[in-house]
Structure 1
Amino acid sequence: MTEPLLDGIAFGESPRWHDGRLWFADWLAHEIVAVTPAGQREVVFRADFPTMPMCFDFLDGQPLVVSSSDGLLLRLTESGPVTHAELGGSGYNEIVVARDGGCYVNGGGFDLMAGEEFRPGLVLHVSAAGEVREVADGIAFGNGMALTPDGSTLIVAESYAKRLTAFSVRPDGSLTGRRVWADLGDGVPDGIALDASGAVWVSDVPNRSCTRVQEGGRVLERLTFGHGCFACALSDDTLFVVTQEWRGVGGVDAADRTGEILAHPVPVGRSVLR
């Protein structure tokens, strides 16, 4: 049964299970928050930069945060944020860290919140040393990403193409073998989470759902909600879903605080990089 974990969130995104807590970014509150399975919350970072969007993952236990508006990748240290890499540009939407300390960052190619017209986006690879290069282009609004446990495959949610796209990862971090991992039909993928069986949970805002699919597109389970589902994450036994009311770009208001995190027990937990 799905149960509420936390409410009163301005605009939740980018959930990550780390060190026994669920971490997420509250974009409109300019915060990264960690919450225990009992619902106890702690603000672990307050940003002094615009945070639509702000995504993060963990590198050696430290949050690695994308400041999209500044085109920077920041590492949160005990003494504060330091620049890990200069991405250039703006509009970055998601990050996933690889087992070698490198990471992938994708971007929509345009500023949705500013009302810009669609332009294809890209995927960047940032090495452990902070070297940045483009490794894929033509991405139709890149959203959630996941790496398979052996690090050999990167899966990217393309919201505007209504599909999950896979790439084979070369030893140097570059990408090859682009292919459709799952055609989602009328599904609009946002954040995703890969489970230990190799299936992917797909968040969907307009369809107010989170769906578990196999490679090839077979639907294994679908959960529906009262609000749009923006992102999801897995612990060893729980699916965490970030939902909020979506009234379009012009309807985003920090005062609304319709965001919630819901917890749903699952028999197959998270995938972990080996």
Structure 2
Amino acid sequence: MQPINPRSFYPEGPLWHQGRLYYVEYSEDRVMCWDGAQNRPVWHQPGSGPCSLVPAAEGGLWVACFSGDRLERIGLDGRSLERVEPSAADQGFGGPNDFASDGEGGFYFTGSGSFDVAAAKTGRVFHRARDGRLRCVARDIHFANGLALSPDGRRLFVNAHLAKELLVFDRQPDHSLGPARRFLFLPDLLPEPSFANGYTGGDGMKIDHAGRFYICQFGAGRILVCGPDGAFLRAIDIPDRDVTNVAFGPDETSLFVTAVSDSWTAPYPGTAYRLDNPMVLPPHGPQ
């Protein structure tokens, strides 16, 4: 496991893009880039509170600005290119948190709602089409967090962080979603560690080409890996307690992981890591 930035501040949303790693520092309001040797800031906007990134069909990256309650499209040179804000009918996005590309130039994103175990279930999922059409496609989620499409594009999976659930929605041809169903209850996969609490739950998530789930378990210091049927395969231990998100490197042979040692106390220290993907065999198979 290689720390590529051991002095990061609430790192989130890693994305391998055009031979570089991009990620955000939520508490520093900035997007970072690692070129294999150095980390450098790419974009900074006070009050934005960025959480995740996704490639933009129009060029550049979309940034989910949780604190700013908006989306921003930026160039890889850091220029701000476009802004998407909620309409009056949306009554706010509820904190854009994570993205999943829809495979057609658009994307889904979560609007989380309040990070409070006692709060109402106000998390939502939105879809933005390539032509700019934006609509809410799911609601009443207890803190909507990481999300990912199945490899065949027919189902969307969403972490209901504070319910400790992974939800599944059938995806329709017009990008709308069917009713939510519980796919997994995370404590059933592996008992939570003794230091877990009500805020321990599924954060960022990715699905590999084989349909395996990599679920970052915030508050548990690990990534849970499950098969396409939800069967537990293994845990990947991470040195920091609050694992926020994961991304695949080239050919899924490596993982990039962001994690925070203390998400409750400034300056919210954390680390961005690179590690070999233990689910991928070496090129010549087992020795």
After TM superposition, the score normalised by the length of structure 2 is 0.81
Q: Which residues in structure 2 correspond to 1:91-130 (within 5 Å)?
A: 91-110=95-114, 112=115, 117-120=118-121, 121-130=123-132
Match of 1:69?
67
Match of 1:272?
none
Q: Which residues in structure 2 correspond to 1:108-257 (within 5 Å)?
A: 108-110=112-114, 112=115, 117-120=118-121, 121-185=123-187, 186=191, 188-228=201-241, 229-235=243-249, 236=251, 237-246=253-262, 248=264, 251=265, 253-254=266-267
Q: What value does the CA root-mean-square deviation take over the aligned residues?
A: 2.3
Matched position secondary structure for 2:239: coil
Match of 1:49?
47
Residue 19 in structure 1 maps to residue 18 in structure 2: yes
Does structure 2 retain, via aligned residues, the 8 Å contact 1:86–1:132?
Answer: no
After TM superposition, the score normalised by the length of structure 1 is 0.85
CA 1:149–1:217: 2 relative to 1, 3 Å: closer
Does structure 2 retain, via aligned residues, the 8 Å contact 1:72–1:83?
Answer: no
In 1, Cα distance between the equivalents of 2:149 and 2:263? Answer: 31
In 2, Cα distance between the equivalents of 1:98 and 1:246? Answer: 33
In 1, Cα distance between the equivalents of 2:64 and 2:22? Answer: 15
Match of 2:198?
none
Counterpart residue type for residue 58 of structure 1:
P
In 2, Cα distance between the equivalents of 1:79 and 1:246? Answer: 28
In 1, Cα distance between the equivalents of 2:154 and 2:230? Answer: 20
* Greater Cα offset, 178-187 or 15-24: 178-187
In 2, Cα distance between the equivalents of 1:69 and 1:207? Answer: 24
**TM-superposed deviation, 1:42:** 2.7
* Greater Cα offset, 86-95 or 18-27: 86-95
CA 1:67–1:55: 2 relative to 1, 3 Å: same
CA 1:79–1:243: 2 relative to 1, 3 Å: closer
**1:58 maps to which of 55, 68, 84:** 55
Matched position secondary structure for 2:162: helix
In 2, Cα distance between the equivalents of 1:247 and 1:76? Answer: 26
Counterpart residue type for residue 106 of structure 1:
T
**TM-superposed deviation, 1:12:** 0.2
- Structure 2 gap segments, 5+ residues each: 193-200, 281-287
Matched position secondary structure for 1:160: helix
Deviations 1:180-226 (A, max 9, x none): 23221256211112112101111112211111112443221212233
Matched position secondary structure for 1:125: strand
Residue 4 in structure 1 maps to residue 6 in structure 2: no
In 1, Cα distance between the equivalents of 2:16 and 2:210? Answer: 18
**TM-superposed deviation, 1:45:** 1.2
CA 1:222–1:54: 2 relative to 1, 3 Å: closer
In 2, Cα distance between the equivalents of 1:131 and 1:123? Answer: 14
Matched position secondary structure for 2:28: coil
- Structure 1 gap segments, 5+ residues each: 270-274
How many residue pairs were aligned?
258
Identity of aligned residues (%): 26
Match of 2:195?
none
In 1, Cα distance between the equivalents of 2:69 and 2:37? Answer: 33
Residue 259 in structure 1 maps to residue 253 in structure 2: no
In 2, Cα distance between the equivalents of 1:9 and 1:106? Answer: 24
Structure whose residues are more often strand by fraction: 1
